[in-house]
């Protein structure tokens, strides 16, 4: 990789990170129930840029997995601002992407996810199991 290509890659990574910061900012705005239609549109735009930048980054470092379709599916699982704003006070605060990512990885390796009560009955407990060694 040339110095120019490396600098371009770094710029894409920086943009990608900034988009995730904005993504989280909009989730926080939605939780306060103080978002507007332009905020929803900007949020959708951020999700699109996250996908584009991730595809560019993976192509630059020649990573074949996750595939383009998997990237789209993962980001597509992110809730809308309206959905986040309608969650009850004290409800789950995550975007759901973490569990969606884990689910995809586990499915690729023919594993199983079991959900239950968290530690001391608080939150959500997640158990990931695999039938054999992970390749």
Q: Smallest Cα–Cα separation from 79: which of 98, 53, 52?
A: 98
pLDDT at 121: 74
Angle, alpha carbons 107-124-122 (nearest 5°): 165
pLDDT of 1 > 80? The answer is no
Cα separation, 68 vs 58, in Å, equals 9
Query: Based on the number of CB atoms within 10 Å of its own CB, is 53 exposed (0-12), middle (13-18) or buried (19 or more)?
Result: buried
pLDDT tens, position by position, 50-89: 888 888 888 887 776 677 787 777 777 777 777 777 765 5
- Distance CA(18)–CA(12), nearest Å, equals 10
pLDDT band at 117 (very low <50, low <70, confident <90, very high): confident
75 within 8 A of 62, measured Cβ to Cβ? no
**pLDDT, tens digit (0-9, with 9 covering 90-100), for 7-54:** 888 888 888 888 888 888 888 888 788 888 888 888 888 888 888 888
Among 133, 90, 88, 83, which Cα is nearest to 110's? 133
pLDDT surpasses 60 at 93? no
Q: What is the model's pLDDT at position 102?
A: 74
């Amino acid at each position: 990789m040339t110095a120019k290509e490396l600098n371009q890659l770094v710029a894409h990574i920086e943009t990608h990170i900034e988009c995730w910061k904005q993504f989280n900012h909009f989730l926080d705005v939605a939780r306060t129930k103080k978002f507007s239609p332009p905020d929803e549109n900007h949020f959708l735009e951020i999700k699109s840029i996250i996908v584009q930048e991730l595809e560019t980054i993976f192509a630059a470092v020649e990573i074949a997995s996750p595939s383009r379709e998997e990237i789209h599916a993962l980001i597509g699982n992110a809730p809308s601002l309206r959905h986040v704003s309608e969650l009850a006070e004290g409800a789950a605060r995550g975007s759901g992407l973490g569990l969606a990512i884990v689910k995809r990885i586990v499915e690729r390796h023919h594993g199983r996810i079991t959900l239950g009560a968290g530690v001391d009955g608080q939150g959500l407990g997640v158990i990931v199991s695999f039938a054999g060694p992970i390749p």
